[in-house]
Structure 1
């Protein structure tokens, strides 16, 4: 039978690591959206500055690029990516303090910390398990010291989400490049 302190320590460690993954994902998405906004702002500016070299649709293309450049950062703000990543950071730092300074009421403090912070979604947990147990091939245990393994479904959903993330990044960053390519080579 597993000791209760070890059980709680394992749960705290696992929750802390999943919250780190959640924070990292949200900060990365926030950065991508801000870069996308800046990128489209530069594309819009270049379309308007070099209008002489383009066809008759440069105003419409420039307006489209301007709209994307303007609204991409607002999407980040609307989703609250920075706010939620800060809350996850605060949570995992508090959990780490709890692990560093165990006390008799560790279970109560653990519950209080989780009550004060937003819960991560199931995909954050899947990302952590796949990265830790499958990609890095490390041993991962849950609160009861049972091995946690990445299931085939976890790996497949992780792979699909990675594919679609990169697909949409390429999709959103390619229109200015395609536009400039047609302008200069046709």
Structure 2
């Protein structure tokens, strides 16, 4: 009995010392208050296992923070990519309308409705530039960047889980949410293209068949649309030359 009591005392003192070191005095006091109901086991920084009435609860707030920060990185990259594409498309079609205006006499023969085509192209360029500016993609990308930088700082902080969860939610409230497709892209990029493992709450995250089909379909549609968008003016300008040589 004395040996058992001595061992219990050592475990009691060790638990309190580790709790104070890992979680700070405020968290340690809260843990001491519940010592009759819980046994605590420190796993690693930011992770704590609670055993209560035979039920094991493991906190993985850092996993959630890490995944959210990576998804916001993908959202930022998409916003920057779409912004660059929109700028390039507006410039490209503006140059297209200028070429039609300069060589109007030549293109009127193969295209009798050239004036109407040129006017429509000019209006489309104007509307497209206004729409692209209205999306505010640059500001959206900057917002996502600020969000994931704050999440990375929070990830590195040594805090109790409850405090870290509150800070995590406060950060998310200050920024726009990402698209569900951004999360799917993270899973596919990380597990398929990079061949790495991904887990949250102790469970492995893997891509599913619908997720993979969605990733492929969206990629094919996006880059197919870009090809049509940038190749069509070239075909339009070269078509008279091609038909002339064919004759």
- Name segments (4+ residues, structure 1) moved above 3 Å: 1-4
Is 1:5–2:46 an aligned residue pair?
yes
Query: Which one of 55, 68, 79 corresponds to residue 26 of structure 1?
Result: 79
Gaps of 5+ in 2: 1-40, 48-59
Task: State whether residues 48 and 58 of structure 1, in contact with CA within 8 Å, keep that contact through their aligned partners in structure 2.
Answer: no
Give the aligned partner of residue 125 of structure 1.
183
On the 8 A contact 1:127/1:158 being kept in 2, the answer is yes
Deviation at 1:67, TM superposition (A): 2.2
Q: Which structure: greater strand fraction?
A: 2
Given candidates 168, 173, 177, the residue that maps to 2:230 is 173
Equivalence map 1:1-186=2 (5 Å): 5-6=46-47, 7-55=60-108, 56-104=112-160, 105-142=163-200, 144-186=201-243
> Which whole-Å CA distance do the structure 2 matches of 1:102 and 1:79 have between them?
38
Structural RMSD (CA): 1.8
Distance 1:153 1:87 in 2: 30
Q: Distance in 2 between matches of 1:179 and 1:86?
A: 37
Q: Aligned residues, how many? A: 185
Summarize the Cα distance change of 1:175–1:67 in structure 2 as closer, same or farther, 3 Å threshold. farther
TM-score (norm 2): 0.70
Higher Cα Rg, which structure: 2
CA deviations 1:104-143 (Å, max 9, x no partner) are 322211111011111112101001111111121111112x
Q: How does the TM-score come out when normalised to structure 1?
A: 0.91
1:63 counterpart SS class: helix
The 3-state SS of whatever aligns with 1:102 is coil
